[in-house]
Structure 1
C-alpha cells in the first residue's frame, strides 16, 4: 500500500469513528487540541516596626528601657513569625551581653509601658542572645511584643552596642525573606570614684573629686533604683564631702549588703540634675552594737 492510500484510509477511519461516537475517535480527535489552567498559591512576606524607637542611653536616671516591637505577616498565607538578634560587628558585644532582656506578647503597643507587668509567654536573655519572639499570624496580621532592657552592673562605660533584630515568616516549607530593624544601646563615661573613709562602722565619709565649678554649688548623695533617694544632708563644694550613717539609708533601699551612692549636682530649687560627679559603694552590716556601715562592697 502506497503512502497516499495509507493517509486516505486513516481519514476515512477517523470520520467513521466520529460518526459512530467511538471513544477511540474522541481520544484521537481531542489529542489535537490544547488545554490551560492556573492556580494562585500565595506568597510569604514579613515586616518589622518599632525598633528605631529602642535607641537608648542608659544612665543613673535611665536604668531600663521598655519598648514595643511589631511583627507583621506581610504575605497572603498564614504563617509563623520567628526572630533573631545579632550585634553589628565593630560595636560592643560586651554591652549587648550585659543588658538583660525580657519580652512578652501584648494586645497593643499602647500596653507596653514602663509599669506594665511581664505577661504570659515571656522569653528572656540578653541582646547578645535572645530566644525567638514566635507568633502564629494570619495573612496580614501583626503581633506586638513588649521588650524591657536593663543593664547589669557589668555593663561597660562609654560603650555602644548596635543591635539588629531579624524577622522571617514561615508557611510549611516556605520562608519569607528576612527583614531587619536596628537600634543602639549606649552607656555614658564612667563617673569619677568617690573617696570613702571609714569611721569604725559608725559612719563613712564620702568626698567627691574637686572641680572648676563654683564653690557654692550644691550637691546631694542618692541611693536606690535610678539613684533617686537622697540620703544625708546636701552639701556645697566648700565642704566637699558627705557623712553617711547606717540609719540614714532607708530600709526600703537596703538593710544589709552593698549600696551604690551617687553624688549629683542640685539645681537652684534643691532638686537633683542629671550631672553625676562621683559614685561609690558602701556596705551595710551588723556588728556587736547594732547596724554598721563601711566603705566598699
Structure 2
C-alpha cells in the first residue's frame, strides 16, 4: 500500500491538462467560426463564449446584423425657376437576426453651390402615414446634414421622409448637379454592417423659356350623338410636359394632366361638325404650337317610341335617311348594348326598326339603361355609325320583360 500512494497526483495533473487542452481547442474553433462568418459579406456576425460550472464545455451563441438601405420614392428632380421642390422617402433596415444600433450619414459629390442651395428636411414616419406633414424634422442641406441615429431590432426598419427645396438659384450654373449618398452602418459590439443609397438632383436653368413640341397624331372619334373621344401622341420637353390643353374650335374645353393622352368630350350635339386641337404646356408655363386638326361629325340622335299593348312590348326607332337610294349602303344595323345578339336589321331604303325586349334582356340586366347604335353597312363590308340613342330595360309586376325609350 505505501508504494502505490505517489501515483495519484500525477493522474490529477493529467486530468487538468486534458480539460485545459479541450477548452483551448473550443476557443480556437470559435475564433475560426467567427473569422469565416465575418469574411466576404457586408453583414456583421458575432459569437460569444461564456464559462459554466455545470459543464466541461463553454456555452456558445451566434447571430448576424445585415444593413439595408432603399429609396421608396427617389427624390430625383431637375430644378428650374418653377420646379423647386421634391418629396421622397428612405428606408433603413436590419435584415439580421439580432438587434443593433444604426447611424446614417450623408456624403455628397458634385456642385457645392447647388448642395448649399438645397434645403433638406427629414423626419421619421411610416409608409402608411406618408410624408404630408413633418413631425420633429431634422433640417440641413446637401452640404451639411445631421447624422441620423437609432436602434433597429432584428428584421426591423425605419422609414424616413425626405423633402428637398431649392431655396435660391443665384450663382448656380445651368445643368449642374449634386449626388447625395446616405450610408447606414449597423453596429453590434465590434461587428458592423453597412449599406448605401444615392440620389442625384440637377439644376437645369434659372429660366425655362423653351416650349414643348406639339402633340401629334390627334384623332377624333364620335362615340355617340353627344360624345367624342380624342387621342394623341405625347409632346416632349426639356423639363417635362405638365399638362395638355384641349380645344374645340378656339374654345378651351379641358386641361388634361400629363401623361394622359386621351379625352372624352361629352358636350357635343347630334348631327354637328366639330374640329379639335391639342397643345402641350410645361411647368414653366411655356405652351407648344397646336397639334394637327382633327375633325368629326357627330351622328344624329335616334328617335324612339315605346309601343305595344301593354307599353314596353317593343320600341320603334326612326331616323333621317340622308343616303336613301345610295347603292353603297347594303343595309342598316341596330346594335343594342353593343351586342349582335340584340341587333336588328332592315334594308338600305328603310328608316325604322322595331326592337323586342327578349334579345336585349339576354345581353343586359333588367333595370339597366344601355346604348343603342345605328350603323350603315356598306357594300364593302364597312360599318359606319350614323345615329345613337339608348334603351331602358324593365320587368313588370307579372314578371314579363319590358323595353322602353330611355
Query: TM-score, normalised to structure 2's length?
Result: 0.40
SS at match of 1:169: strand
Instruction: Determine the structure 2 residue equivalent to 1:170.
Output: 187
Cα offset for 1:98?
Answer: 0.8
1:103 is the counterpart of 2:122: yes
Change (3 A) 1:111 1:61: farther
- Deviation string 1:100-147 (CA, Å, 9 cap, x unpaired) is 011111122x4334xx11013x21101111112222211221111111
Stretches of structure 2 lacking an aligned partner (at least 5 in a row):
27-57, 215-241, 243-276, 287-406
1:136 is the counterpart of 2:151: yes
Instruction: Determine the structure 2 residue equivalent to 1:197.
Output: none
Aligned counterparts, 1:85-100, within 5 A: 85-88=106-109, 91-100=110-119
| Aligned 8 A contact 1:52 1:181 in 2 | no
| Aligned 8 A contact 2:80 2:203 in 1 | yes
Instruction: Determine the structure 1 residue equivalent to 2:331.
Output: none
Structure 1 counterpart of 2:133, from 86, 93, 117: 117
Query: Which structure: larger Rg?
Result: 2
Aligned counterparts, 1:155-194, within 5 A: 156=172, 157-172=174-189, 174-191=190-207
| Aligned 8 A contact 2:73 2:90 in 1 | no
Instruction: Determine the structure 2 residue equivalent to 1:67.
Output: 88
Instruction: Determine the structure 1 residue equivalent to 2:48.
Output: none
- Deviation string 1:236-269 (CA, Å, 9 cap, x unpaired) is xxxxxxxxxxxxxxxxxxxxxxxxxxxxxxxx66
| Aligned 8 A contact 2:81 2:206 in 1 | no
- Deviation string 1:190-231 (CA, Å, 9 cap, x unpaired) is 327xxxxxxxxxxxxxxx89x9x99xxxxxxxxxxxxx9xxx
1:28 is the counterpart of 2:44: no
SS at match of 1:165: strand
Cα offset for 1:72?
Answer: 0.9
Aligned length: 187
Instruction: Determine the structure 1 residue equivalent to 2:69.
Output: 48
Cα offset for 1:84?
Answer: 1.0
Distance 2:13 2:166 in 1: 79
- RMSD of Structure 2 on Structure 1 (CA): 3.6
Distance 2:191 2:139 in 1: 25
| Aligned 8 A contact 1:51 1:182 in 2 | no
* Bigger shift: residues 38-47 or 61-70: 38-47
Aligned counterparts, 1:186-225, within 5 A: 186-191=202-207
Change (3 A) 1:180 1:52: farther
SS at match of 2:114: helix
Query: TM-score, normalised to structure 1's length?
Result: 0.53
Change (3 A) 1:178 1:51: farther
- Deviation string 1:23-71 (CA, Å, 9 cap, x unpaired) is x577335225343445224333311111782222223553311111011
Change (3 A) 1:57 1:112: farther
- Structure 1's consecutive aligned runs of 4 or more residues displaced over 6 angstroms after TM superposition are none
| Aligned 8 A contact 1:63 1:151 in 2 | yes
Larger RCO: Structure 1 or Structure 2 (Cα < 8 Å, ≥ 6 residues apart)?
1
* Bigger shift: residues 146-155 or 73-82: 73-82
SS at match of 1:54: coil
| Aligned 8 A contact 2:93 2:155 in 1 | yes
Change (3 A) 1:275 1:32: closer
- Deviation string 1:148-168 (CA, Å, 9 cap, x unpaired) is 111111362321111111111
Instruction: Determine the structure 1 residue equivalent to 2:301.
Output: none
From the two aligned structures, give the one with the greater strand fraction: 2
